[in-house]
């Protein structure tokens, strides 16, 4: 890099240019980091994991399947890594499947089309990072007061760590659920719920809130969850259009996130951090049920799940040669298959979509089907409820009939 001052004929070389730019303002002070205490990352047992009937209903309300519990989550809990399978995928595309599929399954990961991955997440791990910053982004080119940002070693967090984060920064929970009863009778309940999220988020940011938590834990007999991917992406793009995105961080307190793909989709569409509360409770329940005569404590199941999720996220990032998760956040390295053009343009702007498909009405209908299977039969036996949802009771589990 070279620079010259044509007024006095001064020539600056690379180091002089960078030194002068670096000394113009106290950037290190303006962009200070605030690491969280290590004890705040410790896992705490989930009350939900001990309430088997409630856990089962919530799993069905969020579309969990027996295959996911056995083939995906169990290896993550017991072995601390993603399940290992053969190459190839003969699963039907989500839009063509006879089974209702999570919205994250309508997005396919894109990758660099070369014979070897741009980054090896195992042998070149030192070049990659999951470190993420939370809070208002500082305007480095302006002289403004010092802005401290929270720093996390991973964007995948526990409810305990989320509590610590919320005590450290102004935060606000956005209710990412909507009522079962459609008061207007026009099948636009989900549309109104998204508009409410947008309005509440704007108001919170103008009050000085730095952390917006999209929370779907209020899901129950009277309320349905907004699909986390839709809630995050829709709010992310709304704040960009309003010029408010750099004034806050988005945290998904999500019951739908349960594998590395769903976590990657949430982060790729704007979530700065994800707390998969239902997956963590499910992991604890899997560990407590036991396997081959052994049981795992809540701290072990949480640590294994987080380790498996982090390793899987690094692997996904490496396929596109992305080294840091902050570069992956909001990058939308996906292609939509089976979503309508209107839906993509409004809530997932910039995502390639070569095949049309479902819109908000169909998404809401699928959410309602899952919810009906979970909560419509409050008087049914647990065995009958599992038969409806396709969740086979695990050997050795103690479920009261």
In terms of domains, do 141 and 9 share one?
no
In terms of domains, do 196 and 324 share one?
yes
- What CATH number corresponds to the domain at position 298? 3.20.20.70
Q: Which residue has the tokens 């995105």?
A: 245
Would you list the DSSP string of 202-266?
Answer: HHHHHTT--EEEEE-TT-BTTEEEPPHHHHHHHHHHHHHHHT-GGG-EEEEE-SS--SHHHHHHH
List per-residue pLDDT tens for the chain, 401 residues long: 888 888 888 888 889 888 888 887 776 666 566 666 544 445 555 555 547 788 999 999 999 999 999 999 999 999 999 988 777 777 888 888 888 899 999 999 998 877 666 888 888 888 899 999 999 887 766 665 566 789 999 999 999 999 999 999 999 999 999 999 875 555 678 999 999 999 999 999 999 999 999 999 999 999 999 999 999 999 999 999 999 999 999 999 999 999 999 999 999 999 999 999 999 999 999 999 888 778 899 899 999 999 999 999 999 999 999 999 999 999 999 999 999 999 999 999 999 998 889 999 999 999 999 999 999 754 333 333 433 333 333 333 332 32
In terms of domains, do 25 and 48 share one?
no
Q: Which domain holds residue 55?
A: 43-84+98-375
Q: For the chain, how many structural domains are there in total? A: 2
- Burial level of 253, CB count in 10 A (0-12/13-18/19+)? buried
In terms of domains, do 26 and 104 share one?
no
Per-residue b or e along 308-347, where b marks 16 or more CB atoms closer than 10 Å to that residue's CB: bbbbbbbbbbbbbebbebbebbbbbbbebbbbbeebbebb
Predicted confidence (pLDDT) per residue in 176-202, tens digit: 999 998 755 556 789 999 999 999 999
In terms of domains, do 109 and 67 share one?
yes
Report the C-alpha gap between 345 and 356 in whole angstroms.
12
In terms of domains, do 130 and 2 share one?
no
In terms of domains, do 80 and 159 share one?
yes
Q: How far is CA 369 from each of CA 38, 60, 212, rounded to the nearest angstrom?
A: 42, 10, 29
């Amino acid at each position: 890099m070279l620079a010259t001052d044509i007024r006095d004929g001064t020539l600056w070389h690379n180091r002089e240019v960078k030194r002068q730019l670096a000394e113009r303002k106290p950037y290190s002070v303006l962009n200070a980091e605030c690491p969280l205490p290590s004890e705040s990352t410790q896992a705490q047992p989930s009350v939900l994991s001990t309430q088997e009937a409630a856990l089962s209903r919530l799993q069905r309300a969020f579309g969990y399947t027996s295959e996911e519990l056995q083939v995906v989550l169990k290896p993550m809990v017991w072995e601390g890594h993603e399940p290992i399978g053969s190459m190839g995928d003969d699963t039907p595309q989500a839009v063509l499947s006879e089974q209702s599929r999570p919205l994250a399954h309508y997005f396919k990961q894109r990758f660099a089309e070369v014979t070897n991955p741009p980054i090896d997440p195992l042998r070149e791990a030192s070049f990659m990072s999951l470190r993420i910053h939370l809070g208002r982004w500082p305007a480095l080119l302006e002289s403004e007061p010092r802005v401290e940002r929270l720093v996390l070693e991973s964007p995948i967090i526990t409810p305990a760590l989320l509590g610590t984060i919320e005590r450290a920064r102004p935060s606000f929970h956005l209710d990412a659920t909507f009522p079962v009863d459609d008061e207007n009778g026009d099948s636009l309940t989900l549309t109104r719920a998204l508009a409410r999220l947008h309005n509440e988020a704007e108001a919170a940011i103008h009050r000085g809130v730095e952390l917006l938590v999209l929370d779907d834990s209020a899901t129950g007999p009277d309320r349905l969850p907004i699909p986390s991917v839709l809630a995050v992406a829709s709010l992310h793009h709304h704040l960009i259009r309003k010029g408010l995105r750099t004034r806050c961080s988005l945290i998904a307190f999500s019951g739908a996130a349960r594998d590395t793909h769903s976590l990657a989709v949430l982060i790729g569409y704007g979530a700065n951090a994800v707390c998969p509360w239902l997956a963590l409770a499910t992991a604890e329940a899997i560990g407590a049920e036991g396997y081959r005569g052994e049981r795992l404590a809540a701290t072990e199941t949480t640590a294994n799940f987080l380790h498996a999720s982090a390793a899987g996220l690094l692997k996904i990032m490496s396929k596109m040669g992305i080294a840091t998760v902050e570069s992956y956040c909001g990058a939308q390295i996906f292609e939509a298959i089976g979503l309508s053009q209107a839906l993509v343009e409004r809530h997932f702007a910039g995502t390639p979509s070569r095949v049309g498909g479902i819109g908000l009405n169909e998404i809401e209908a699928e959410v309602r089907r899952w919810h009906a299977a979970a909560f419509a039969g409050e008087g049914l036996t647990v065995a009958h409820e599992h038969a409806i949802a396709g969740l086979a009771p695990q050997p050795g589990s103690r479920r009261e009939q």
